[in-house]
Structure 1
Amino acid sequence: MSSTPVGMSSPQRQTRPKSFRWWLSLPVLLVLGVVVTWSQMSGHGEETGGHSKPGTAASALTADGAVPEVEVIHPRKGGIERVTVQPGSVHSFEAVDLYSMVSGYLKSQSVDIGSRVKKGDLLAEIDVPREKNAVELAAAMLDQAKAKALQAAAKVDAVDAERETAVATVSQTEADIDRLVSSLRLAESQYTRIKSLFERSAVPKSVVDENLNAVDAAKAAEKTARLTVQTAKAKLSGAVARVEQAKADVIEAQASVRVAETQLDKAKVDLGYANILAPFDGVVTRRNFHPGAFVRAATAGGELPLLTVVRTDLMRVVVRVPDRDVVLTNPGDPAVVTIDGVGTREFKGKVARIAESEDHQTRTMRVEIDLENPDRLLREGMYGRASIGLEALSERLTLPTACVLERSGKRQGVVQVVRDGKVERVKVELGADNGTLVEIDSGIKPDDAVVLRSNSVIEPGMTVSPKVSG
């Protein structure tokens, strides 16, 4: 049974309710349009040069009619100190495995694990009788070489004296030739004079023969003298050669002395290897033999060291710096190290050395921090954390990250600033951000009051009551 009134057609009955509902919704749409228009005019003024233009609304009140209160903060100078915090392991600054260079029985060992030693202390001694005999033999051969060198030097003196004698003999025989030449000339002159007298029958023939014999004798004497000179010169040449030979023998003997000295030094070095000395001040951390044990030389296949000594007055902390911080890490950067086993104590030092090369697998760079360890709290193998200062504080302004309302791109943002009691939106250029603070490179000044938080929603152009954050 239909409920339609009599006298009204069906289409008319359906159209009237729809038209009626449309007229009812029209006032609602008008109200929404007015609200939107007012919001656009008062809340989103045109921005010019990084600052917003105040809207037409002079102020906005809270529900109870009071001016909104906002908490503001002034930018702080100093920038953000960039640090990298990485795990680090403690290592001894120096660690040495002490091997034996000679084979023999361990004669004595005055230290054990944990013994503190000084540089040069005798730690262990190996019994090496063969090396002792080698030293004695080398010493005897050195004495022998020195004696031969003395003999060679004396021989030089002897042959040099022979050379001088030969020189004198040559000079003497040459002088004899001059005398004999003069005698020959005299004999020839007398013979000529006697012969002239004989021709005049003034002297007998026997006198002529005597003078002729005198001339022949003078000639023979001259000839003999000249042969004697040649013999003396030959002897002189031989003496000179023997002098040179003797000098060469001296050089050879001196070289033999040096060889013998080197052999003695080598023998002493080999014998010295039997004494194991501390290379620096430190502590013994490892012992592998006891007195009476046979120790094989490292050069003969010995694989175990007698002792291990480490330096503990200075330690090095090894840190692996990740790729993002590698370029900022340099020797001299300040570092603070905390060790899990020591509690909250901080050990301050500096980056001493960097590898300047990254590990291809981990993409990290080895960095070492040197730490003084006068009270010996730091031990080999300890583990902790190292905080390395990569960039020092600067003159840039910083704000809490909560002050930045909008971020466009990596370095652009917007903050709210209270000027003359009204809120303005200001574009700023952002710098480093550590999650708590952010650096502001430009856009605001140190005396600007930047909104940190408010107890109500605020819009640009609103009158507010700023309160500096404590």
Structure 2
Amino acid sequence: MKSAHLKYTVLVAGIFVSSIILYSCGTSEAKTEEKKEAAPTITTVETIALEKGIMSSALQIPGELTAKQDVDLYAKVNSFVRQMTVDVGSEVKAGQLLAVLDAPEITAQLTAASSRLKSQEAVYIASKANYDRLLQTSQTPGTISPNELDQALARKNADMAILEAAKANYKEIADTKNYLEVRAPFDGTISVRNISLGAYVGPSGKGSEKPMFFLQNQRILRLAVAIPEVYTAYLSNNTEVSFSVKARPNEVFHAKVKRMAGSLDTRLRAERIEMDIDNSAKKLLPGMVAEVKITLPSKESTFIVPKSALVVAPERVFVVRVVNGKAEWVDVQKGREVDGNVEIFGDLKQGDTLVKVASEEVRNGFPVNIAK
């Protein structure tokens, strides 16, 4: 009985040991297979040689046309409109009379100043004549005391100073009266008229809320464009631009950059550039919005690659360089993109071998096979 029980125990122990051995062998084989699967695979890739080139792109952006010269014309003094010689659309020359104003109090002030001036001229003439007689008489010794002569000279000088003041006062009032004639400061076109005959006018904020006239030089227009920061390095004076307007969709106009702000607008983060437009034919109007096209050539050669060679991932932007048969991710900065090509900037040198169609599947540090 004991012999049978012993045999049964040995049999069970043998089965248990065999199971452990089989399990260990199976686990070892599974780990071996996993290691084989984790081994890096060799990817076959097509490559290109990194080269430099000059990239030229075009920027299309809206701009605004304004008159190169424009001005609001107000009355210099409070007055009434007596005469108008122009209206909306009138072409005027510099110095041309636009309106005549009437201010009776200024005329009265001028008459009074003229009377004071003539009176003072008479006083000065008398004091000067008196001094001249005393001076001539004093040539005879003992006839005129030095003190009397000095007093006469002082009176003459005082009367002369008062005369000069009267002349200045008269000139000031006369100049003010000249302001009653409103004249054009430059050649241009009257585009706004806010007055009529008999209207009360005066300086801005004191007599009139609106200007009498708005004068524009429409023969030369100014095209202003705000260039985004990223494109400012490609611009310079005399850069060619072309533009069109909705009113003349079949015509293309051309100009050159004349002025650059040299700084960025803090609100738009853009640089203002301006072009002068010859508008002698009057095809364009101030206030028009132009669709501007600007060619932006590179000032120096840069690395240019096909767009497919650039990997734009959420964490980084990179290209895949092949070095000694292995893939190497190189972080770069992306520049302009034109016709399927893109500028890149980074730790690269001319002649580097890059994967033509790059992706994150070409793992960093893994071996690659270059397609022939």
Asked whether the two chains share a fold, i.e. TM above 0.5, the reply is yes
Counterpart of 1:77 in structure 2 is 53
Within the candidate set 115, 120, 127, 1:152 is matched to 127
Counterpart of 1:452 in structure 2 is 356
Measure the CA separation in 2 of the matches of 1:114 and 1:32.
91
Q: Does 1:245 align with 2:245?
A: no
The count of corresponding residues between Structure 1 and Structure 2 is 333
Within the candidate set 67, 73, 76, 1:101 is matched to 76
Structure 1 or 2, whichever has the larger Rg, is 1
Q: Does 1:311 align with 2:217?
A: yes
Identity of aligned residues (%): 18
Measure the CA separation in 1 of the matches of 2:226 and 2:291.
11
Counterpart of 2:346 in structure 1 is 441
Q: Does 1:163 align with 2:138?
A: yes
Structure with the bigger RCO (C-alpha within 8 Å, sep 6+) is 1
Call closer, same or farther: CA 1:433–1:392 in 2, change over 3 Å.
closer
Call closer, same or farther: CA 1:355–1:255 in 2, change over 3 Å.
farther
Measure the CA separation in 2 of the matches of 1:392 and 1:244.
84
SS in 1 for 2:186: coil
Measure the CA separation in 1 of the matches of 2:239 and 2:332.
26
Measure the CA separation in 2 of the matches of 1:404 and 1:416.
14
Q: Is the 8 A contact 2:127 2:155 kept in 1?
A: yes
Q: Is the 8 A contact 2:64 2:224 kept in 1?
A: yes
Counterpart of 1:430 in structure 2 is 332
Cα shift at 1:135: 3.8
Q: Does 1:298 align with 2:298?
A: no
Task: Calculate the aligned-residue CA RMSD, in Å.
Answer: 4.6
Counterpart of 1:50 in structure 2 is none
Counterpart of 2:300 in structure 1 is 394
Call closer, same or farther: CA 1:140–1:30 in 2, change over 3 Å.
closer
Q: Please list, as runs of the form range in 1=range in 2, the aligned pairs for 1:257-336 lying within 5 A after superposition.
A: 257-290=163-196, 292-298=197-203, 301-317=207-223, 336=241
Q: Is the 8 A contact 2:47 2:353 kept in 1?
A: no
Counterpart of 1:204 in structure 2 is none
Call closer, same or farther: CA 1:434–1:355 in 2, change over 3 Å.
closer
Measure the CA separation in 2 of the matches of 1:400 and 1:353.
35
Which has a greater percent of strand? 2
Counterpart of 2:4 in structure 1 is none
Counterpart of 1:464 in structure 2 is 371
1:40 maps to a residue whose letter is: P
SS in 1 for 2:75: coil
TM-score norm. by structure 2 comes to 0.69
Q: Is the 8 A contact 2:84 2:100 kept in 1?
A: yes
Deviations along 1:134-184, whole A, 9 cap, x unmatched?
Answer: 44543443333333222222211222234343xx24xxxxxxxxxxxxxxx
Call closer, same or farther: CA 1:367–1:123 in 2, change over 3 Å.
farther
Deviations along 1:291-333, whole A, 9 cap, x unmatched?
Answer: x3233323752323221112334444555667x6699799969
Counterpart of 2:274 in structure 1 is 370
Measure the CA separation in 1 of the matches of 2:210 and 2:78.
13
Counterpart of 2:99 in structure 1 is 124
Which has a greater percent of helix? 1
SS in 1 for 2:356: strand
Cα shift at 1:250: 1.7
Measure the CA separation in 1 of the matches of 2:344 and 2:244.
31
SS in 2 for 1:94: strand
Q: Is the 8 A contact 1:142 1:264 kept in 2?
A: yes
